[in-house]
Structure 1
Amino acid sequence: MAEKAKQAEVEATEAKEVKETPQVSEAQANPEKFLADFNWHNYQEGIDEVEDSQLKEFEKLVSENFVDTLDDEVVEGEVIHISDRDAIIDINAKSEGVISLNEFRYNPNLAVGDKVEVLIDVREDATGQLVLSHRKARVIKAWDRVNNAHDTGEIVNGFVKCRTKGGMIVDVFGIEAFLPGSQIDVKPIRDYDQYVNKTMEFKVVKINHEFKNVVVSHKALIEADIEVQKKEIIGQLEKGQVLEGVVKNITSYGVFIDLGGVDGLVHITDLSWSRINHPNEIVELDQKLNVVILDFDENKSRIQLGLKQLSKHPWDALGEDVKVGDKVKGKVVVIADYGAFVEVAEGVEGLVHVSEMSWSTHLRSAQDFVSVGDVVEAQILTLDREDRKMSLGIKQLSADPWTDITTKYPVGSKHSGTVRNFTNFGVFVELEEGIDGLIYISDLSWTKKIKHPSEFCAVGDTLDVVVLELDVEGRKLSLGHKQTTDNPWDKYETEFALGTTHTAEIAEVVDKGATIEFNEDIVAFVPSRHLEKEDGKKLKKGDTAEFKIIEFNKEFKRVVASHTAIFREEEIKNVKEAVKKAESQAAEAKPTLGDANEALQALKDKMDGKK
């Protein structure tokens, strides 16, 4: 630098001595050399020695060739030297700039003479050095290019760096942009890793300048191509047309097929003639298959496709030798409350109604007999090939238990059965599969008064029964439970005969009297007027007293007792004895008629409770 300054000083001195102003000066002829050799420090010292004309010429050259080093301005510079740590960049300023090689890590082949974009970071640091930044220049230029690509719709190249939550990170012009998972492709992506470390084309779809976020899309490019294909395909669609497609998505209700830019839906019912629980039993993702167009709307935006329609209907393939009465075997595919559907051949189903599953007559659900997936044997009951319907029966494969009912269950025979269900008037008891009988509520117990059968037993209980009546034609059995034991009222008829007396406690006081419990079977009623004691008071709840049976009805199980009758009869007996004694005394003393009347009146008053 000192040599350059000295040379400049000599040239200035020579110009002054010669006092010659050539038409084309050396500085004008070779400004770059002049500016490179010129030293500002020496220029300041010798400025007084330079004539005004030369000073003006020099200022003109500086304005034409020197860079106006403003902050945040990106300029192009040339690499003039590379050290172990830095690169020296010439930007035609008064001094060269320095940039760390870390900023060129993306370009390991950087060499002297390469042109690079730099940002003037510091015009002059503490040592007077010009500080440049290539990284900042790249960022500024990158944002300019990204903004321009967003405004013009330009397609840009980006490098997929890595996966992130919800998508991918893409390097676009050195800026990290976000690629949402939904914007990678028009079809769902199952393996994101296949795109990592790949260079792809993208479209800038969104820029958030406040947060410096960039969103790109690869799907937008595909959709543009697909839209063209879609219009061509839609224009050629016809019902019944067979097309090749690729399984794009599988849902619980059907399969979406990509027909080459146009999506169609194959409903689950149009996948197979057989019943299926989920479409993945038939197809899988990315599978190629042929489908037929069943229908579409006016705009042809919703296309209904079919797969099973490409094969012959199973009912048409059903052999002519299959007829009513044949035994068939099949798998239970669907169960409803009213019955079960059995697939006897692929796509051919028959219904087994719940009433045809068992000879039992009481109501039950199909789930009580079969489960989905069971293989059952049945008999064909009806067959309609035109309507493609078939009814089956399972119970027909076993003997009807009512055929020998009179032998197995004659009237008067005793058996055990299971309580199946109740009605308001009785209990249904199953003696065996297909043989049910009814126990009327009045035939449940000899002694208990039952308002509803559930008070006496529960579903599932085992009861001993006696066959009371048998109607073979009507397939009805009348059963009795109480008849399995002796009627205790036969014994009670003697034990609690009219006039017998028993000691008991008042159990409950009711409106018209009270009740007393002689034992667990007999609860007697005491009318209110028969609760009166000898002293005129009435018995209360919890009082223990002696009672006399004044009514006993075995048929209606009615017993009426009286406490009052106990001492009233005693009084009547005493009156009769007094009268008899008085008559005897009167016969001996021959009393007068008045005396006799007085004696009778006294007895009458006593009986009426008077003193």
Structure 2
Amino acid sequence: MSSQEEHPNSGEVVSPPEAQPGLEAAMPRDPVELADTSLQAQPNEEFMPSRAASNGNSPAALSAKEASEPAARAERASVAPAAEGANESAAVSGAPAVAASTQAASATEPPIDNSESDDESLGMAEVESLMESMEAAPTLTVGEIVQGHVLSVTGDEVVIDLGLKCEAVIPRIEFSSGDGEINIQPGQTVRVMVEKFDELGGTAVVSRHRAMQEELWEEIERAFYEEKPIRGRVVQRVKGGLEVNIGVHAFMPASQADLKPHPSLDEWIGQEIECKVIKLNRKRDNVVVSRRKALEEESNQRKTALLEHIAEGVVLRGRVKNLTDYGAFVDLGGIDGLLHMTDLSWARVAHPSEVVQAGQEVEVKVLKFDREKERVSLGIKQLAPDPWETVASHFHAGDHVTGKVVSVTDYGAFVELEPGVEGLIHTSEMSWTRRLRHPSKILKPGEMAEVAILNVNPEQRRISLSLRQALPDPWKGLSDRMGAGTVVKGRVRHFTDFGAFIEVEEGVDGLIHVSNLSWTRNVKHPSEMLRKGQEVEAVVLNVDMENRRLSLGLKQLQPDAWESFFSKTNVGDMVHAKVTRRTSFGVFAEIEEGIEGLCHISEIGSCDPGSDVGMPKVGDELEFRVIRLNPEEKKISLSTRSESRKATREREKAPEPVGLSRMAEAFSSAGITTPAMARASGAGDRNNSH
């Protein structure tokens, strides 16, 4: 017969009396069995004295009882076998057998005195108390989660002590963790679910897995109804959102993944997140969670706490959310603050990424706070000392320092002298001689440059620098080294439309104007006579120290051919020339190398005006008469006529000489000149001149 059974009426799982600790005999719940049990549960006489004493019995009664103890013990010895037989028969035949055994016991028991009757009453009360406690003792119910103790762990099984002298065996695999490890040791306490219970046999079937599932669902339901967050791991991306493992598989819509729409949900796969249960249907195993709800609640809590103590000048910690071209936004805990690029560092910052990165934890100082609009301006550089506070003591006008070129603009270059302190080299201070179109022709960002400090203004945070003054001035003493008329050598550096620049010394360039390239050639561009990099000699024409200008001449190395020609040629002289070109108004003829004269069409004797008949051809060599010279403009007028037409016209138009009287002729022959004769002579000269 099984030691555990299920009551047919109540459906409860009942533990047998022998399974209760401290009990030695079965304690049936049936009233008839209770009566039979009272016979077996008579108290032992060995502990009766103390019990009687505790109930107020006198020492005399105890002595009388001790005197009759041998006889009573013999009587109980004879009764005990009968009681045991009656008990066994009662277990088989039920209440009638119990009644018969009770009557037999009563018939065989000899009469006892009053003191012994008191002892029996005391034993009955104790039995009744034990029966009541047994009825209230815990039992196992199918579907109930109970706590057990691990007795032993074998290769595949774990033996659990459920109490009530009941043990259960659970497959060891049910104790495996999420990573597959099995960590269970004897003596540990675990919770299991009762799946089956045999009260008569004292055996039970329990499950650790179902207990964990039940506890998990209870936790999920509690989190749902109490609106508390729960942790889970994102498993994979599914249609419309993500699958999250919170012990059971839950669905998180894409719109609930973050506070703002996120471009890529795959970033959360494999991550532990905190979310809230927003929909629950246990029957269908349908759970919907939201990370957004948890973030909003956390953000509101942090925001409330932040608003209580935020103020200008307070130093806070935050996380960089994102970067822009003008700064970075920092999450302070429910409120975002702007960290402008100019407040990232005392040094020059081209982009916020040079100082901070997205997701980085930073310490910032509150510069401005608008409580109504909840706008916060932050700064990092304000946490460090201002380097301009010590500039006046570190840098002085006239000092030569070395710095790093950090920026080049159209008007100059900025040089970092120390972190957070920059100075400007204006284009006018770049070079002693070169006229720069852009500073980048000399300096590049990142280069190191030695500069001279011109001025320091800490109030306006300005330092003026000079690159050229850190070098020796090449113009110093130039007029002593290169006076006017000095012949110098140099290299052609570059051309302009008006001339060529020649580097005569390092840092000193001179200009050869196109008009000073040749005495005879009409040069339109210096490249007609020179090339870049060519070594040439030139004559110093002028040195302007104030404006730092040096004028050079190339043709001055040779005598002036025009000057030589004009010195030896007079009007009326005949010259031999070669026609070089023809025009509509005449021909040009080369008299000497580089010296040309113009013969107007009116001075070509064989040519008719208005036609080309008789016009000399290019290459013809003819004899020309010089009819006009202009040394200042270097112009020569020629004619092929033996006498110029102008001279003939003047002669034809000349008036007759003023006649002299015979008296005057006589005086003249005698060598005497009268006033009338002088006047007449002067008038004649004037007419001839016209």
TM-score range, shorter chain: 0.5 to 0.7
Query: 1:479 Cα deviation (Å)?
Result: 2.0
Q: Residue in 2 aligned with 1:562? A: 639
**Identical residues among aligned pairs (%):** 36
- Is contact 1:534-1:567 (8 Å) kept? no
1:447 and 2:520 correspond: yes
Alignment CA distance shift 1:197-1:543 (3 Å): closer
Give, in whole Å, the separation in 2 of the partners of 1:463 and 1:216.
88
1:528 and 2:598 correspond: no
Q: Tell me, what secondary structure is at the counterpart of 2:306?
A: helix
Alignment CA distance shift 1:485-1:349 (3 Å): same
Query: 1:183 Cα deviation (Å)?
Result: 4.5
- Superimposed CA distance per residue, residues 453-503 of structure 1 (whole angstroms, 9 cap, x where no aligned partner): 677668877653211223445644332222133434356569987644446
Give, in whole Å, the separation in 1 of the partners of 2:461 and 2:321.
33
1:179 and 2:254 correspond: yes
Q: Residue in 2 aligned with 1:262? A: 335
Query: 1:355 Cα deviation (Å)?
Result: 2.6
Q: Residue in 1 aligned with 2:508? A: 435
Alignment CA distance shift 1:423-1:542 (3 Å): closer
Q: Residue in 1 aligned with 2:615? A: 539
Give, in whole Å, the separation in 1 of the partners of 2:475 and 2:619.
58
- Is contact 2:234-2:268 (8 Å) kept? no
Query: 1:373 Cα deviation (Å)?
Result: 1.5
Give the aligned residue type for 1:377.
Answer: E
Query: 1:441 Cα deviation (Å)?
Result: 4.3
Query: 1:271 Cα deviation (Å)?
Result: 0.6
Q: Residue in 2 aligned with 1:374? A: 447
- Superimposed CA distance per residue, residues 89-111 of structure 1 (whole angstroms, 9 cap, x where no aligned partner): xxxxxxxxxxxxxxxxxxxxxxx
Q: Which residue, 450, 468, 472 being the options, matches 1:399? A: 472
Give, in whole Å, the separation in 1 of the partners of 2:413 and 2:343.
22
Give, in whole Å, the separation in 2 of the partners of 1:373 and 1:566.
79
TM-score, with structure 1 as normaliser: 0.55
- Superimposed CA distance per residue, residues 388-421 of structure 1 (whole angstroms, 9 cap, x where no aligned partner): 3222223333322233213432322222345667
Give the aligned residue type for 1:467.
Answer: V
Equivalent residue pairs, number = 408
TM-score, with structure 2 as normaliser: 0.49
Give, in whole Å, the separation in 2 of the partners of 1:415 and 1:217.
88
Q: Which residue, 581, 584, 593 being the options, matches 1:507? A: 581
1:477 and 2:553 correspond: no
- Is contact 2:302-2:333 (8 Å) kept? yes
- Is contact 2:577-2:589 (8 Å) kept? no
Q: Tell me, what secondary structure is at the counterpart of 1:247?
A: strand
Give, in whole Å, the separation in 2 of the partners of 1:463 and 1:430.
10
Alignment CA distance shift 1:375-1:478 (3 Å): same
Q: Which residue, 296, 310, 314 being the options, matches 1:241? A: 314
- Is contact 1:413-1:466 (8 Å) kept? yes
Give the aligned residue type for 2:637.
Answer: V
- Superimposed CA distance per residue, residues 287-334 of structure 1 (whole angstroms, 9 cap, x where no aligned partner): 222211222456434322111011110122447364322222221112
Query: What is the 5 A alignment of 1:136-155?
Result: none
Query: What is the 5 A alignment of 1:357-368?
Result: 357-360=430-433, 362-368=435-441
Query: 1:229 Cα deviation (Å)?
Result: 3.6
Give the aligned residue type for 1:386.
Answer: E
Q: Residue in 2 aligned with 1:413? A: 486
Q: Tell me, what secondary structure is at the counterpart of 1:406?
A: helix
Q: Tell me, what secondary structure is at the counterpart of 1:303?
A: strand
Alignment CA distance shift 1:366-1:199 (3 Å): closer
Q: Tell me, what secondary structure is at the counterpart of 1:383?
A: strand
Query: 1:340 Cα deviation (Å)?
Result: 1.9
Q: Residue in 2 aligned with 1:280? A: 353
Give the aligned residue type for 1:283.
Answer: V
Q: Residue in 2 aligned with 1:118? A: none
Alignment CA distance shift 1:473-1:158 (3 Å): closer
Alignment CA distance shift 1:460-1:543 (3 Å): closer
- Is contact 1:516-1:523 (8 Å) kept? yes
- Superimposed CA distance per residue, residues 153-183 of structure 1 (whole angstroms, 9 cap, x where no aligned partner): 9999998554599x96548999988637x94
- Is contact 2:405-2:416 (8 Å) kept? yes
Q: Which moved more, 1:228-237 or 1:328-337?
A: 228-237
Q: Which residue, 264, 289, 312 being the options, matches 2:362? A: 289
Q: Which moved more, 1:307-316 or 1:297-306?
A: 297-306
Give, in whole Å, the separation in 2 of the partners of 1:199 and 1:266.
28
1:548 and 2:624 correspond: yes
Give, in whole Å, the separation in 2 of the partners of 1:298 and 1:456.
77
Query: 1:258 Cα deviation (Å)?
Result: 0.8
Give, in whole Å, the separation in 1 of the partners of 2:276 and 2:322.
24
Q: Which moved more, 1:292-301 or 1:188-197?
A: 188-197
Alignment CA distance shift 1:301-1:432 (3 Å): farther
Q: Tell me, what secondary structure is at the counterpart of 1:289?
A: strand
Q: Residue in 1 aligned with 2:8? A: none
Give the aligned residue type for 1:521.
Answer: G
Give, in whole Å, the separation in 2 of the partners of 1:229 and 1:199.
18
Query: 1:282 Cα deviation (Å)?
Result: 1.9
Alignment CA distance shift 1:336-1:193 (3 Å): closer
Give, in whole Å, the separation in 1 of the partners of 2:558 and 2:341.
63
Return 5+ residue gaps in structure 2 as ranges: 1-194, 196-223, 280-287, 649-690
Q: Residue in 2 aligned with 1:308? A: 381
Give, in whole Å, the separation in 1 of the partners of 2:251 and 2:519.
93
Q: Residue in 2 aligned with 1:14? A: none
Give, in whole Å, the separation in 2 of the partners of 1:154 and 1:291.
32
Alignment CA distance shift 1:269-1:188 (3 Å): farther
- Is contact 1:246-1:286 (8 Å) kept? yes
Q: Which moved more, 1:220-229 or 1:306-315?
A: 220-229
Q: Residue in 2 aligned with 1:334? A: 407
Alignment CA distance shift 1:437-1:155 (3 Å): same
Q: Residue in 2 aligned with 1:251? A: 324
- Superimposed CA distance per residue, residues 17-66 of structure 1 (whole angstroms, 9 cap, x where no aligned partner): xxxxxxxxxxxxxxxxxxxxxxxxxxxxxxxxxxxxxxxxxxxxxxxxxx
Query: 1:220 Cα deviation (Å)?
Result: 5.5
Alignment CA distance shift 1:481-1:216 (3 Å): farther
Give, in whole Å, the separation in 1 of the partners of 2:442 and 2:523.
34
Give, in whole Å, the separation in 2 of the partners of 1:248 and 1:188.
13
